[in-house]
């Protein structure tokens, strides 16, 4: 790269699993049911909260369940190279993070209860960064396991102590 050229930050190459949309919908639906139940109890207990708020909140949750998972799927991306891990997350705001292999301290694999239903998993890459770990959620279970293996080997091959 010459002095006059600049590299641009591009989107990471890989999307999460398409099943992540369904997982996010189910998670949002469960959260919505809990919130609606709490709101219904509040309306019944306190006369100050009008009953029509249940309908308004219900419509908001339906939109949330339909729109947000698709939006997140379009935004969430990840990629690894020989030198770094790249992530892009968010649905309202976007965050792109790059963690050099030399900074990786741990690589963790996890499957939550809802993730297991959809054969999905999450990979968390902890680095020597004040910004915290990089998390790639919504990965196919086998892809996540392979990613953990690959990142562990790549990080181990880099000289230094990740600080």
CATH of the domain at 153: 2.30.29.30
Contact 132, 125 (CB under 8 A): no
Q: Give the model confidence (pLDDT) of 115-130 as tens digits.
A: 999 999 999 999 988 8
Residues of the domain holding 50: 14-73
Task: Write down the residue that tokens 């690959």 correspond to.
Answer: 150
Contact 108, 145 (CB under 8 A): no
Residues comprising the chain, all counted: 163
Q: Give the model confidence (pLDDT) of 33-71 as tens digits.
A: 998 898 888 888 887 788 888 888 889 999 989 999 999
- Overall number of domains in the chain: 2
Q: Domain ends where: 31, 52, 73?
A: 73
Q: What is the pLDDT of residue 1?
A: 45
Q: pTM for the full model? A: 0.82
């Amino acid at each position: 790269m010459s002095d006059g050229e600049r590299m641009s930050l591009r989107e990471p190459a890989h999307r999460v699993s398409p099943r992540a949309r369904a997982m996010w919908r189910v998670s949002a639906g469960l959260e919505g049911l809990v919130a609606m139940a709490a709101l219904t109890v509040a309306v019944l207990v306190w006369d100050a909260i009008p009953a029509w708020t249940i309908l308004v909140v219900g419509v908001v949750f339906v939109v949330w369940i339909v729109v947000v998972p698709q939006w997140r799927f379009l935004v969430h991306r990840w990629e690894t190279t020989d030198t770094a891990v790249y992530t892009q997350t968010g649905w309202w705001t976007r965050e792109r993070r790059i963690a050099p292999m030399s900074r990786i301290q741990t690589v963790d694999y996890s499957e939550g209860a809802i993730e297991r239903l959809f054969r999905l998993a999450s990979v968390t890459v902890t680095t020597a960064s004040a910004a915290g770990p990089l998390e790639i959620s919504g990965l196919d279970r086998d892809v996540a396991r392979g990613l953990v293996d690959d990142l562990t080997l790549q990080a181990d091959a880099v000289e230094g102590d990740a600080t």
